[in-house]
A and B are shown apart, each in its own frame.
Chain A
Amino acid sequence: MSKPDPTTPVVSLEDVTVEFSDSGGPLGLFGDEEVVTAVDDVSLDIGEREIVTLIGESGCGKSTLGKTAIGAQRPTGGSVKYRGQDVWEAKDGNGDVPFEEIRRSLQIIHQDPGSALNPNQRVMTSLMLPIKRWNPDLSREQREERVYTLLERVGMSPAEDYLNRYPHQLSGGEKQRVVLVRAMLLNPDLILADEAISALDVSLRVEMMDLMLELQDVFDTSYLFISHDLSNARYIAEKAGGRIAVMYLGQIVEIGTVDEIIDDPTHPYTKALKWATPNLFGEEPDTEFPIRTIDVPDPTNLPDGCRFHTRCPEAREVCTREDPPPFEIGVEEHRARCFRADPDHEYWDSPEITDDDTEAGPGAGAVGSEAGD
């Protein structure tokens, strides 16, 4: 398998912030609107042939970050670059690379393949149209050949059987494969797979991830793979030698290789996600809930200091007032936004907090000792 090359980023996010106001539009001029910061000052490079998996709970901003990375969402702060070209400058007509090319190079497959396919179009039409649009010089025969080869490659064989079907005549897994094939036909540099396997049965997920990896090998594609499931993220990242990024309330709170994140997580939130991931085999962590409250804080009213402090079992006084920056851990690219990553931080002398000290939102009942003993 071709090796990922993180040193030549396909997409670079630099200090990206995305804010939404409750009027749904761009940030208003009036100060009384409720503002949700979906992505807060995130920097991330996605390298050539690299797989970066992004995990976190719903509402943590992972989909918004993903859409921003492929130029489908304009950031309110920071920059998004495709091979060095600022995506939004290109969009505004001030770039060296045409925006159309950027759009073709950055593709998306999402959770519901049914909605991504036109119900009134046969599979053949759905697959041929994009090639026709992006490769107008190909003959009909050449286009057909590409479609046939790729469908057979993803196990939809014989291809002509499937090409004449309508989406409703396909299973969920087959639809998702058609959507993946359609994205690949454009020969993109990066595919955002936003919960692309979450709607599939557990038993079909490995198959779909294997297909994505196989196609990556052929097309040299990078993936930004979004999932709320750590075991899926770990599977695809480990097979591809990729990285895992953990998001919480708009920030990447920890990022590193699979070994670093799965075997040696630093951030208490990563540890909580690992705890919550049910495994079939092996020892179970027979500990208490590693969070103090079940419910995520209101995103329109983020906690001060470290965003995780209201749920964090390790939170101390300093965490309630200071937001930890990304600390480097070891020599690799491993980073965590937690004071505990810094052995000399004042955190260690800071008093522990009790549940009464935190401003847990109403309804966010404490998950105390009675819950997990």
Chain B
Amino acid sequence: MSVSEKKLWTAWSRFLTGLVGAILIGFLVPILVVVAVSFQSKSYLSFPPTDFSLRWYQQFIGNDDYRSAILNSMMIGASAAALATIAGISTALAVVRARAPGSAIVSTLSIAPAVLPQIVLAIGLFPISVWLGLQGTLWAVILAHAVIGLPFPFITVCGALTSYSNRIEIASMTLGANAFQTFRLITFPMIRPAVIAGFIFAFAASLDELVLALFLSSPSTRTLPLLLWEQLNFQVTPEIAAAASVILAVTSLLILAATLLPRLDKDN
């Protein structure tokens, strides 16, 4: 590499670093603004904040609507993530290991919910949920969120399964283990980090989902993002910022867990 080439290369990598920095700041600023706004005492959203107060957090904690919405969100998130993970493991096994006919189509369909417009899914699911008599129950939202959560465990488990040879499973079977024992004792422990990560991502996806919840829930099954949405429509107070900050904190923790837990699991 000549000297001028080297200079060009250095300039280019500096430019890229700058660009990534700018993008990150662009993403982070609105988020930080929400957090900053939540820690003040004024009863309207003002920026930059002039004082520090936990007033809106206190109000948020004392609000029964928020409390039940958080409970709903947690129940829906955990159940939807569990369903998505079970479905994700099964389809990943069918696609990667069994190489069942139609694998390519199944694979595409399993990833589709991550890229398809959720409004389309919502419009389609609404009449189905009415027809099944699920409309307004927790189950309607759980099933819908399981669908949008599916791509995450599917992708992570597919990755884990392709990272090692199926020889290991064949070996287990030659040693006398049937398919179920092989899954329980060999396959599952091997893919467990991916399962944990996939579950957490599916949970996080459910936690901040609005569109499907808007269509499928009732006042009693309101999720936290839905409640925020409703609040925004008639009174904008920093309480919303406090609630949004809580969602942000929980989601961030989940993503942190999704990166750290599988690693810890692998070390054991």
Pairing of A with B = no
Using a CB–CB cutoff of 8 Å, the interface residues on chain A facing chain B are none
